[in-house]
Amino acid sequence: MHQVSNPTRISLLVTHLTSLNYPLLISLLLLSHNVQANALSSWKVWQQNSDLSVLYRASQYNDVIEIKAQAKVNSSLAGFIYFIEDFKLAPHWLDNVESAKCISQISSEENVFITRFKGLWPISAREIVAHSRYWQNEDLSVEIAVKDAGDTIEKNQNVIRMKVLSAHWTIVPLDNKRIAITYQFMVDPKGNVPLWLTKPITLNGIWTTLHNIQRQLPKSKWQQQVKSNIQEIQSQ
């Protein structure tokens, strides 16, 4: 009689057990995937009040969190768009910004711009180049899609260039004088900065930015302007 060697027996046993537990393995893999998905979808509140909120959650990228900033502000839709397109005004409301300027005006709804951020020890100065395009939906909400455009301009060797991983604005008119703003984004800060350092700085900066918008936007000169491609909600 042919004798089966011990290694062969072990191999057959492992194969047999694996085949028996295949459904279990699949279930465990699916469970693991669901746990990870739930972790990614679980928002945590950083700060909030009746009109403003900053939330964050883990992302699929190392040392990068996803952030959701929300605000209810007295403004028209056109007034808000003009406000954020006024790049010279950016250092007054966008926290820690040194300068911002338009590089290319592709159309009235689309441009490429660069924003430079001050260095804040121990984090050095940074910049970001982004492409922005907005449109209005049938329900009168406005969306602004933002994507990285770092390859459109030569890199400044004196600063670190960050990368936009995802970014999107949604502006919903609540009435003819008030809007709800949501800005959800992920940005890779580059430069091997640990998350424990960038997280509080970024979240606090966003909270300050929301307060600046809430204070400055309603009083902006742009509230007196209209845009031909933007329809405002009518008062009832």
Q: Which domains does the chain have, with CATH numbers?
A: 6-37 (no CATH), 44-224 (3.30.530.20)
Report DSSP state, residue 150.
G
Q: Whole-structure pTM over 0.85, yes or no? A: no
Please state, in angstroms and as integers, the Cα–Cα distance from residue 89 to each residue in 35, 93, 160, following that order. 43, 7, 23
> Residues 148, 187: contact at Cβ < 8 Å?
no
Count of other CB atoms within 10 angstroms of residue 148: 19
Question: What per-residue confidence (pLDDT) applies to 40?
Answer: 55
- Tell me if residue 82 falls in helix, strand or coil: helix
> Residues 149, 192: contact at Cβ < 8 Å?
no
Which residue stretches of the chain have pLDDT < 70? 1-41, 236
Question: What per-residue confidence (pLDDT) applies to 235?
Answer: 74
Q: Where are the beta strands (DSSP E) in the chain?
A: 44-48, 52-58, 65-74, 97-107, 110-117, 126-136, 142-148, 160-161, 163-175, 178-188
Run of H or E including 64: none
Question: What per-residue confidence (pLDDT) applies to 122?
Answer: 79
> Residues 103, 153: contact at Cβ < 8 Å?
yes
Tens digits of per-residue pLDDT, 202-217?
Answer: 999 999 999 999 999 9
4 by Cβ neighbours in 10 Å (0-12 / 13-18 / 19+) ranks as exposed
**CA dihedral for 90, 94, 100, 102, sign (positive or negative):** negative
- Tell me if residue 172 falls in helix, strand or coil: strand
